[in-house]
Structure 1
């Protein structure tokens, strides 16, 4: 049974941080409404003010200033709603975008129905109800773009039904849920995105599971939190290299915003491991405190006392659904990634995993953010594994890429007008009707092996055939310093000899190789990017380690 006592220190900290956020909102209302705000931002601001204004310990409790500002925001929001009941943004008449706003609106409406809600705020309820009722029908009939949209939309329908019961809303949620939750047994959602786990799938499935008594949805959220916990890194971030969404290249993604999700399930399920995550998060300022306060006000058990924390031991977590492994031991962590979608689809696209980083290493504050293998092979870009295996303690990543020279068209397919089908070769397109031409193929096969030991990583790369110019790019996080390198002609740095070191404070990552190749090569993103004058180049302090003419190299990375 959850502990029924209240964690008064935590509740006070949330309230104080929420008040600070509410004061920022009050100071910025004029500026927000004078611009071209997103409807979600307007509703979020109103929710922040209401959460504090109904919380008796808050400095803004029963504040007339907060009530007036919230009323302005809600009136403005009503003016943004289209005659079709939906809101426009970049996506016009968008049911899923509208659902985000309606979810916040419904929680705000619920806050106004609390016994602590002052009379000055109660008129807001009718204004919110009018917006919600107008949106209910379009949301029930509306469609989506992405997997997570189904759950955001369904959560909005479940919340609408909780306040304004309508069996048609519940039936529509049932249709979406009948498709099955897009979560693998290892806890990864199909989009593999911590960002969408945090902001969409987990909170949405929690709301649906709670409001419609679907406990299996809460089990799914718990599995995903286990995956988030297992991919949390020593620098307070969550691994994103495997993501299929924007966060695969958006820089470090923080663990801190997951505070209330881990707290909810730590308390509800007596999870000491989740409680340990909460304690780690609370070493930093509370993120989204007004949302946290609203959650607590609507479910006071969230302010309960946590179970005794259980600190994790050294652990190796493998996620075959994503081709990802994270090995952690105290302040040292290693990520191995071999699960891009590039081999199967052949292009770079939002919704596909395409990050060529296959190895990362953390030693306290010293971070090797990215190891990539770049090569000059028909402009086909860096190594992206198309197979990920674990064998006797080794992570094995393999890839086969091929390019062709095409022979003359066979007589049966020749055209007098010379107009052949515009076709894709796998690396470029041309009016050549490639499918009907004989071809001379040249293939490059690469195997990368990673062995993680105690505070060290051994990396081996073997490619065939030889004579392909290749380079390993090691990108270290800005803020530290490099020893044993010199500036490279194409930018970044190159080793002076067979070893070099990255240092940040007392933490070091030492790199040594068995043999260096001829210097001079830099990172090549491939024609997917260069034909648009673009790149996916890594950031930070980049060291280019040339691979010998043998097309094989052995590297050792040590946390020192």
Structure 2
């Protein structure tokens, strides 16, 4: 490999991150910190030490690092249960959780073998750990979509290091999982719609399986997800997660998590835009030095320079139809409209569903409107969550996204005489909002409804937001949550980081970047509540919880029926 072909900056960054991680692991080893670690953390430490000992990124490692690895392997052996799977965490006797560690251990063993270090006692320790875990992984099951690919990647890596006689069974099990089809839609989103799991699990796992079993169609799937990621990339360097069905719907995921898939696909597919994204990911820092360093040992081509980078067009728009998400990038602003909550169909807050009530986000340089939500005091049903998004584009180039929701609750009439029970003993039934021994299904119901329609018209200046509410006469609160760190002016202070806009315009400013909120058409009827507050709904409140947004909060309030019109505009210094 010619020296000129090497991406020296990338390799230097990896070497620096690897050195810092090795120092931290060795320092831990001087005490008893390793004994309390879970198996995944132990396996990661073995991988980083082996990568360093094998000279990853030009690191000058020594055999003493492998001696530390032997100690770590001993702690891992203590965590291996009768099934060969690793214990620890809330997923008991878990094949997919064990697969995360097996992926690291199998890579570590392969690095040792290729570096002629298989004579070291650590190699034997790893062989024993992997042999014990293999039966549980071959026969084991999963409980989330991405687990299939993490488990299959572990089986593929075992295939690569296992004795010849064991390989057919491993290959067959991987094929069995792959036969289900990769859960990626036409927009390039995996079924969990999660940036976190795409970056850390599905993409790297599918690339590993593609390499070991020569399945280029899996690279195609990863490339489609990276295409989607480019359009989900926000001005602050994070990937949009409001649409996620996993934990990251509540926290940001930086592009750095995608570093190695971006570099790989950019290189093998000649993608200038992915090369640009890979450079941005690297600039954010190397999150997983063990993974990246091991990649350089096992895949020397990963150190090669990427195609000349080319940033995607600044003005572009992407509709993710199945996910109910619209992302609009302009030279000075980015707008996100979300109408793809799973709540409309499932009527419950649940892990694995998209629950976020945030329906609009707006970026104007350093000024960020993280969340716009509409809260209502309506039978504890919580905030507005649209179950879909309709998009129209007019001849002038403006795009209008329409979100709608109708919610209802019931008052129940007396039972018919033939349904009476002399003992007053009626079935305990889930009514949708709560449960009671009322035999609801046999009663006539009087429905009370609330209709909400939100229209967001995206223009070169910003967003024109129209909100219409009809039906039951209840209080509502439009909450705009700005990212902490700015200054709010033009609104009435409520104390703390809270303001209310009754008329005119409010301005949120950070370092000269600003978002202006102008109340063009305000509510006719004021809310009855003295001060605005966010209502998370009975599903949270009953458990003493909330999904309330944080930051600097600006409120507009009123009472149904109501029409509200706001303008959001962004400006830069």
Distance (whole Å) between structure 1 residues aligned to residue 60 and residue 4 of structure 2 = 27
Q: 2:474 aligns with which of 439, 459, 468?
A: 468
Q: Which residue of structure 2 aligns with residue 296 of structure 1? A: 296
Equivalent residue number for residue 453 of structure 1 = 459
Is the CA contact 1:326–1:336 (under 8 Å) kept in the aligned structure 2? Answer: yes
SS of structure 2 residue aligned to 1:157 = helix
Deviation at 1:59, TM superposition (A): 4.8
Q: 1:357 to 1:12 in 2, by over 3 A?
A: same
The yes-or-no answer on 1:128 pairing with 2:134 is no
Whether 1:381 and 2:382 are equivalent positions in the alignment is: yes
Match of residue 497, structure 1, among 494, 503, 512: 503
Equivalent residues of 1:339, 1:387 under 8 A apart:
yes
Structure 1 residue matching 2:363: 3-state secondary structure: strand
How far did 1:418 drift?
1.4
Q: Please give the alpha-carbon distance, in whole angstroms, between the structure 2 residues aligned to 1:231 and 1:48.
A: 31
Change (3 A) 1:490 1:277: closer
Q: Secondary structure at the match of 2:337?
A: strand
Deviation per CA, 1:14-46: give whole Å up to 9, x if none. Answer: 112211111111111245645421100001011
User: Aligned partners of 1:31 and 1:435: how far apart in 2?
Assistant: 63
Equivalent residue, structure 2, for 1:159: 157
Pairwise CA distance, 1:298: 0.8
Determine the C-alpha separation between the residues in 2 that align with 1:559 and 1:508. 6
Find the residue that maps to 1:282 and give its secondary structure: helix
Report SS of the residue matched to 1:417.
coil
Cross-structure match for 1:554? 565
Comparing 357-366 with 50-59, which one deviates more in the overlay?
A: 50-59
- Is 1:542–2:553 an aligned residue pair? yes
Which stretch of structure 1 is more off in the superposition, 549-558 or 36-45? 549-558
Q: Contact (CA 8 Å) 2:497, 2:552: kept in 1 or not?
A: no
Q: How big is the alpha-carbon RMSD for the aligned residues of Structure 1 and Structure 2? A: 1.9
Once the two structures are superposed, the pairs formed by residues 203-352 of structure 1 within 5 Å of their partners are: 203-249=204-250, 251-313=251-313, 314-352=315-353
**Deviation of residue 343 (structure 1)?**
1.2
1:482 offset after TM fit, Å?
0.6
SS of residue in 2 equivalent to 1:523: coil
Shift of 1:550: 4.2
Deviation (angstroms), 1:162: 1.2
Cα distance change of structure 1 residues 423 and 32 upon mapping to structure 2, 3 Å threshold:
farther
SS at match of 1:113: helix
Give 3-state SS (helix, strand or coil) of 2:481's partner: strand
Q: Are the counterparts in 1 of residues 246 and 354 from structure 2 also a CA contact under 8 Å?
A: yes
Question: How far is 1:196 from its partner?
Answer: 0.6
Residues of 2 paired with 1:188 and 1:429: CA distance?
Answer: 36
Mapped partners of 1:523, 1:365: distance in 2? 26
Question: How far did 1:48 drift?
Answer: 0.6
Q: Check whether the contact 2:482–2:551 (CA below 8 A) recurs between aligned residues.
A: yes
**Equivalent residues of 2:376, 2:383 under 8 A apart:** yes
1:409 to 411, 415, 422: 415
1:138 aligned partner: 136
CA contact (8 A) 2:67 2:122 kept: no
**Cα gap change, 1:31 to 1:199, in 2 (>3 Å):** farther
Could you tell me how far apart the structure 1 residues matched to 2:463 and 2:36 are? Answer: 50
Q: Say if 2:117 and 2:123, in contact at 8 Å, map to a contact too.
A: no
Post-superposition offset of 1:137: 0.9
1:168-223 residue CA offsets vs partner (Å, 9 max, x unmatched):
11111111111111111101111111111111111111111111111111111111
CA distance in 2, matches of 1:364, 1:557: 14
Give the structure 1 partner of residue 22 of structure 2. Answer: 22
Shift of 1:494: 0.8
Cα drift, residue 489 of structure 1: 7.2
- Rounded Cα–Cα distance in structure 2 between residues aligned with 1:409 and 1:3: 84
Kindly indicate whether the alpha-carbon contact (under 8 Å) linking 2:505 and 2:516 is maintained by their aligned counterparts in 1.
yes
Question: 1:73 corresponds to which residue?
Answer: 72
Stretch deviating more after TM superposition (99-108 or 16-25): 16-25
Report if aligned partners of 1:3, 1:306 keep a CA contact under 8 Å in 2.
no
Task: State TM-score, norm by structure 2.
Answer: 0.93
Q: How does 1:3-152 map to 2 (within 5 A)?
A: 5-31=5-31, 33=33, 35-55=35-55, 58-64=58-64, 66-89=65-88, 90-115=90-115, 122-152=120-150
Residues 386 and 400 in structure 1, CA contact (< 8 A), matched pair in contact too = no
Cα distance in 2 for partners of 1:292, 1:54 equals 13
Using structure 1 for the length normalisation, give the TM-score. 0.95
Q: 1:341 to 1:484 in 2, by over 3 A?
A: same
SS of equivalent residue, structure 2 residue 36: coil
Change (3 A) 1:4 1:404: farther
Which residue of structure 1 aligns with residue 534 of structure 2? 523
Deviations 1:373-428, CA, capped at 9 Å, x for gaps: 01111121100002211122211111110011100011232212212111111111
- How far has the Cα of 1:450 moved from its partner? 0.8
Instruction: Give the deviation of 1:233 after TM superposition.
Output: 0.4
Asked if 2 retains the 8 angstrom alpha-carbon contact of 1:19 and 1:59, the reply is yes
The 2-side partners of 1:3 and 1:494 are apart by: 61
Q: How far 1:353 sits from its partner (Å)?
A: 0.7
Distance 2:281 2:201 in 1: 20
Instruction: Tell me how far 1:114 sits from its aligned partner.
Output: 2.2
Gap runs ≥5 in structure 1: none
The answer for unaligned runs of 5 or more in structure 2 is 394-398
- Could you list the per-position Cα deviations for residues 149-177 of structure 1 after superposition, in whole angstroms to 9, with x for gaps in the alignment? 11111111111111114211111111111
Q: Deviation at 1:496?
A: 5.5
Instruction: Measure the CA separation in 2 of the matches of 1:154 and 1:307.
Output: 31
Q: Deviations over 1:247-275 (max 9, x none)?
A: 111x2221112111101100010001101
Distance between the aligned counterparts of 1:282 and 1:147, measured in 2? 28
Tell which deviates more after alignment, 266-275 or 482-491: 482-491
CA drift at 1:515? 3.5
How much does 1:289 deviate? Answer: 2.5
Give the paired residue count.
555
The answer (yes or no) to whether the contact 1:547–1:553 under 8 Å persists in 2 is no
- For 1:331 and 1:283, the matched residues in 2 are separated by 22
Q: Does the 8 Å CA contact 1:523/1:537 hold for their aligned counterparts?
A: yes
Structure-2 change in CA distance of 1:30 and 1:350 (3 Å) = farther
Tell me: CA distance 1:426–1:18, structure 2 relative to 1, closer, same or farther (3 Å): same
